[in-house]
Amino acid sequence: MPKLVDHEERRNHIAEATWRVILNQGMKGATVRNIAREAGLSLGALRHYFSTQDELLVFAMKLVKDRATERIQQIAMSDLPPKDKILNIMLELVPLDENKMAEMEVWFAFTFYTRHKNDVLDAQHDGIYAGMKKLIDYMDHHHMLRNNLDKEIETEKLYALIDGIAIHALLEPHRVNKERIKAVLSQHLDSICAEG
Amino acid sequence: MPKLVDHEERRNHIAEATWRVILNQGMKGATVRNIAREAGLSLGALRHYFSTQDELLVFAMKLVKDRATERIQQIAMSDLPPKDKILNIMLELVPLDENKMAEMEVWFAFTFYTRHKNDVLDAQHDGIYAGMKKLIDYMDHHHMLRNNLDKEIETEKLYALIDGIAIHALLEPHRVNKERIKAVLSQHLDSICAEG
């Protein structure tokens, strides 16, 4: 009797192999051949799940995004006080551990890779700007923001700050470590929140 | 009589061809062969100036950095009032025009490319963090900063904000346009400056 393999699970397994390959060898190494080897599959078996390299890369990216979204929704629905909720969501978007470091690296590699491939899905709209807008609106709704803040500018600024510190955490992990990231993000949160 | 060619000028010409190739084809296309073609040189002639691809890439990157440093020094030595000086230096570090857009793109591509090549020069220390520190120190020295600011955190924050907005200007140029970038950076400057 043939072994039953969950299709979705197998696709996730391949996506994870894809991340490891990108992480170790960069986007250049993310060939179907290398990914099949890393996943312990034959080329034919891999092609059964993904017929092109681009299809595979898009799936691997989407998995990163779905997992992050899931983590953020959990925080949003938790019982934390509003300000802690905001800070924790912000912290979800920066690489504080090895796993998220890997996700972020793949995201950056993929984003720059697809810039020169017009036929691939548009990876640039990862929904983080929209997420930042929601955070600022939430804070506004809960009367947390300082008076006279320009919400649009604050949204853009928060988005830049988070992606900037994320990229620095990847490139200069010694200086931009967990404590540093937390200090910068809480300081920023305090700076836009009304006092008391 | 053989044509005299200025060695440095020829190297700069090749570096600029390198940028164009990276810009159009990504890091993947930045082969010595493609760069020679773009520069209108034979492979042999190109190898006369740069014996390896890495040597060429490192030179092209250094040229970006040197040109940015030069522009910043000119602003630093100008007669502008301190706050305008700071804002103008910040604006030099983000892609406000086509040329700087290209420089930034090459910088990002190169930075991620070299992450997986341990033998290549460390591109990650591009001196911008040190530059941010100087800006904050300058502001402190001129009594421009608000009281009770943590200078180290403000340095890290400014650095993240500038690189974050730079990357967004590359990826989402319609929303993150010149006006938007200026608005975010002046707002940030105002937010750390003492009033009046």
**What would the mean pLDDT of A101-107 be, rounded to a whole number?**
79
Is residue A1 situated within a structural domain? Answer: no
Is residue B83 situated within a structural domain? Answer: yes
Q: How many domains does chain A have?
A: 1
Task: Name the residue of chain A whose CA is nearest to B128's CA.
Answer: A168
Is residue B1 situated within a structural domain? Answer: no
The two tokens of residue B136 are: 């904050």
Quote the CA–CA distance of A80 and A74 in Å, as a whole number: 11
Is residue B2 situated within a structural domain? Answer: no
According to DSSP, residue A154 is labeled H
Quote the CA–CA distance of A136 and A154 in Å, as a whole number: 8
Residues 101-140 of A with CB under 8 A from B: 108-109, 111-113, 115-116, 124, 129
pLDDT at B126: 63
ipTM: 0.84
For position A46, which CATH number holds?
1.10.357.10
Task: Name the residue of chain A whose CA is nearest to B159's CA.
Answer: A164
Contact B28 A28 (CB under 8 A): yes
pLDDT tops 70 at residue B23: yes
Q: B187 — contact with chain A (CB < 8 Å)?
A: yes
Is residue B141 situated within a structural domain? Answer: yes
pLDDT tops 90 at residue B146: yes
DSSP secondary structure string for all residues of B38-92: HHT--HHHHHHH-SSHHHHHHHHHHHHHHHHHHHHHHHHTS---HHHHHHHHHHH
In tens, the pLDDT along B108-130 reads 777 777 766 655 445 445 678 88
The two tokens of residue B20 are: 């164009």
Domain containing residue A91: 7-192
Contact A165 B160 (CB under 8 A): yes
pLDDT at B87: 96
Is residue A2 situated within a structural domain? Answer: no
Is residue B150 situated within a structural domain? Answer: yes
Quote the CA–CA distance of B70 and B57 in Å, as a whole number: 20
Q: How confident is the model at residue B30 (pLDDT cuts 50, 70, 90)?
A: confident
Alpha carbons within 13 angstroms on the beta-carbon side of residue B173 total 12
Contact A124 B28 (CB under 8 A): no
Identify residue A21 by its one-letter amino acid code.
V
Task: Specify whether the CB–CB gap between A154 and A192 falls below 8 A.
Answer: yes
Is residue A133 situated within a structural domain? Answer: yes
pLDDT at B123: 47
Q: How confident is the model at residue A128 (pLDDT cuts 50, 70, 90)?
A: confident
Quote the CA–CA distance of B145 and B142 in Å, as a whole number: 8
Task: Specify whether the CB–CB gap between B83 and B144 falls below 8 A.
Answer: yes
pLDDT at B171: 85
The two tokens of residue B82 are: 């301190």
Quote the CA–CA distance of A181 and A74 in Å, as a whole number: 21
Task: Name the residue of chain A whose CA is nearest to B150's CA.
Answer: A187
